[in-house]
Structure 1
């Protein structure tokens, strides 16, 4: 009997890293016109962003079917293992619901599904927290309780090149998107209570870094005893400048660097700088 940690591909943990961390990834799907790809499996980040920029139509994204969770749940049942499943926010995707349906189909009580109320770098932090707690040999109930508390402290901000993709995907109102397109205004979004909100606007990327730092400092600040995750979509050059700025202004030393994959990239677009941390 052991504890198995399962998450979905919007955690932006690569297949290679998942093997190293000893966790299971269930992929979401990205659909370009009539062609379907499994996130992180049969399309690389590089291929995805190239296709995204060239595509006339915004691709769509799709949650995993309950059947994608089933083999892992059946395996846990057969081995008498505990499965802890951590999904993308239920307010952003039906993935959480699919996992619940799969649990009902399995008819096994020792499957615990946590709605992270976050996504991408924030979800990755919660998964990494689960791994760290598991290493402490804590009981499953204690791990679940600690994860439910930890998820309330996760803060995720992202500086976007534009709101174009969020507007196209219907994730923000048209007026917010319109305002974001004016005079080199860079939007900063946050994931709060499981949904995407426009947190601030700034003039240019340098102004964006400044504003982002301001938001982090005024929001209880960073708990430096926990992990921090910084990520980017497509263009790493934006992030290099952002990391340098964060080192100078937030006294940032240790952090995890993570590319942002195709499902989140569909809605956020290229050129994103993301910053996820646990609040004090």
Structure 2
């Protein structure tokens, strides 16, 4: 078995140290704002994004990497790898997956598998991470695919949002939910279902939302050994608090903090706190 390369897109929100440790290639999604194009996490930082969101009247748009971006990545990796596993954001959320498939069909110097993570953010990140770990152990393509399915079927994402405005304008959640959150000043907790954000519960304050996240974790983890990633958009202090609480309360095989990339933050705005986890059988 030759070398297997692992590729993903920047929506995976993996901590930089894990990307480097496991040799994961990340293709950046694009942010378009006032006539300028920015590569996610390359040309603009999260702090720059939130500063501009607070100051500006226009909202950014996002788009998938181009076919050329993926083609360039695949051809470069094919110089050393025999197989490329390209694992991406749910196609219900973005054109990234389909664009990667189009590029993969143009490459004949390596065997390329384009995989739908069926999720997003750090949940996607965990699917990618476990694939990269399996590849590093010398697993076959079939074994890596089995590992992907194992994690993909178990990983769950929950997040509290201080506003639904950005999700609404980005087309990620219905107008009714947006108006409900605004009218009652709720701090909704969302979860991902089939790659689409939906409302799990509706705490009235940020403090109650924090407690609700821990309650959900208690209920869902239920004493099992868990792999956990705390994620946030411009609330690092709360992320550290949640990290410490979860590390103390649960049997964590691993636990990390990750910050939303600018593209993900553009859809949620500042003020997101959540966690992703999957449990071993």
Q: 1:276 aligns to what?
A: 276
Contact 1:222 1:278 in 2 (8 A): no
Shift of 1:130: 1.3
**Cα deviation, residue 19, structure 1:** 3.3
Q: Which runs of 5+ in 2 are unaligned?
A: none
Q: Distance in 2 between matches of 1:138 and 1:21?
A: 14
Q: Normalization by structure 2: what TM-score? A: 0.91
d(CA) in 1 for partners of 2:132 and 2:112? 16
Residues 234-273 of structure 1 correspond to what in structure 2 (within 5 A)?
Answer: 234-247=234-247, 250=250, 254-273=254-273
C-alpha distance in 1 between matches for 2:17 and 2:259: 13
Cα distance change on mapping 1:99 and 1:45 into 2, 3 Å: same
In the alignment, which residue of structure 1 is the partner of 2:193? 192
Stretches of structure 1 that go unaligned for 5 or more consecutive residues are none
Point out the more displaced range, 215-224 or 142-151.
215-224
How far residue 245 of structure 1 moved from its aligned partner, in angstroms, is 4.1
Contact 1:114 1:148 in 2 (8 A): no
Matches of 1:222 and 1:172 in 2, distance apart?
32
> Structure 1's 3 and 80: CA in aligned 2 closer, same or farther, altered over 3 A?
closer
- Cα RMSD after superposing both structures: 2.2
Q: Distance in 2 between matches of 1:125 and 1:175?
A: 32
Do residues 231 (structure 1) and 258 (structure 2) align? Answer: no
Q: Superposition pairs for residues 46-195 of structure 1, below 5 Å?
A: 46-79=47-80, 81-107=82-108, 110-195=111-196
Which digits, 9 at most, give the CA deviation of each residue in 1:138-162, with x for residues without a partner?
A: 1122111220232111101111111
**1:13 shift after superposition:** 3.1
Aligned residue-pair number? 279
- Once residues 105 and 149 of structure 2 are traced to their aligned partners in structure 1, the CA distance between those partners, rounded to angstroms, is 22
